[in-house]
Amino acid sequence: MMLFYVLLLALFNFGFRYVHAQYPSVLGYATDIRVRELLDLTNKKRSAIGLSQLKLDEKLSLAAAKKAQDMFSHDYWSHTSPQGKSPWEFIIASGYEYTMAGENLAKNFSNSDGVVEAWMASPTHKDNIVKPGYRDIGFAIVNGVLNGEETTLVVQMFGATNKKDSIALNPEPLTVGLQTETLGDQVPINVFEAASPEASYSPMSTLSSVIQAPKINIPTVTRDIVFIFLGFLIAILTIDAFVVSKRNIIRVAGHNGAHIMFLFALCFALFLVKRGVLL
């Protein structure tokens, strides 16, 4: 009977992958993330503690878009590319001359609220959102395949600048803080390069939202089926243990109590699994 369950679950896994690959509009990942919502939610968090609102900046959004494209084309999930390209290089290349800058990344969240709440729950990402010195913000939301996995990437870039419309050819070395768990707080990076303005393309129209509404949402259905199955298994084992104990049945079998403990631990562990990841 247990072998049947294993085979059934394996079939369910392969079936899901096959249907998703063939009919993504029927079985897929529901996503609704919009720049306008991310901006409003970020500004709400700042307003709540008396900070000024951030302005959506086209150059920072361009930098965010270029960063997202770079992550997909070089297949990495990191603040710094495998070629050693830092977020600041994208910002400079976009023509935004910053005095301070920061970057938050998120992937695979299903809605804007989830992204901002997750950033706020992470001290290092929150530091970026509520940093008083920032004046401008840029976003990119892009769908693609990262490390072989269908991914919705959100890049949020913060900045403050003295000269809005000029690009310094010999900027002074700047110290900026990249506040992430991976790189640690306030990693000093000296920027000596002059900006190369390649800002000839506007990302705003194509990267302002990712909205997908499949008929069946994979994370919801998967979780429902798995937890119903675990509940069913625990119920059967509990009834079995009760009957065996009541009727004093002697048999060769495993420890039902241990199985139940293990399945509860498994339930708890699986409950902790979340799709959205920050960096």
Partner 1 sequence: MKRKWIEVVNLSILAVILLLTVFLFWQVRDSRVMQIIVGLLLSLLYVTWGLIHHAMLGDLYPKVVVEYLLVGAIAMTLIFTVVWVN
Nearer to partner 1, 118 or 174 (CB): 118
Rounded Cα–Cα distance for residues 221 and 128 (Å): 35
Residue 152 contacts residue 28 (beta carbons within 8 Å):
no
What is the closest distance, in whole angstroms, from the C-beta atom of residue 87 to partner 1 in the complex? Answer: 19
Residue 211 contacts residue 110 (beta carbons within 8 Å):
no
Nearer to partner 1, 8 or 168 (CB): 8
Extract the runs of DSSP E, i.e. beta strands, from the chain. 27-28, 31-34, 55-56, 100-107, 136-146, 149-160, 209-212, 216-217, 277-278
What is the closest distance, in whole angstroms, from the C-beta atom of residue 273 to partner 1 in the complex? Answer: 5
What is the closest distance, in whole angstroms, from the C-beta atom of residue 274 to partner 1 in the complex? Answer: 7
What is the closest distance, in whole angstroms, from the C-beta atom of residue 120 to partner 1 in the complex? Answer: 16
Nearer to partner 1, 80 or 222 (CB): 222
What is the closest distance, in whole angstroms, from the C-beta atom of residue 230 to partner 1 in the complex? Answer: 7
User: What is the 3-state secondary structure of 64-119?
Assistant: HHHHHHHHHHCCCCCCCCCCCCCHHHHHHHCCCCCCEEEEEEEECCCEHHHHHHHH
Nearer to partner 1, 232 or 242 (CB): 232
Nearer to partner 1, 2 or 49 (CB): 2
Nearer to partner 1, 118 or 187 (CB): 118
The three-class DSSP label of residue 133 is coil
Nearer to partner 1, 164 or 274 (CB): 274
Residues binding partner 1 (CB under 8 A): 2-3, 5-6, 9-10, 12-13, 16-17, 218-219, 222-223, 226, 229-230, 233, 252-255, 257-259, 261-263, 265-266, 268-270, 272-275, 277-278
Residue 242: which residues within 8 A CB-CB, separation 6 or more? none
70: left (phi over 0), alpha (psi -120 to 50) or beta: alpha
What is the closest distance, in whole angstroms, from the C-beta atom of residue 226 to partner 1 in the complex? Answer: 5
Residue 43 burial (CB count, 10 A): 18
What is the closest distance, in whole angstroms, from the C-beta atom of residue 102 to partner 1 in the complex? Answer: 20
DSSP class per residue in 241-256:
HHHHHHTT-------H
CA angle 43, 46, 47 (to 5 degrees): 85
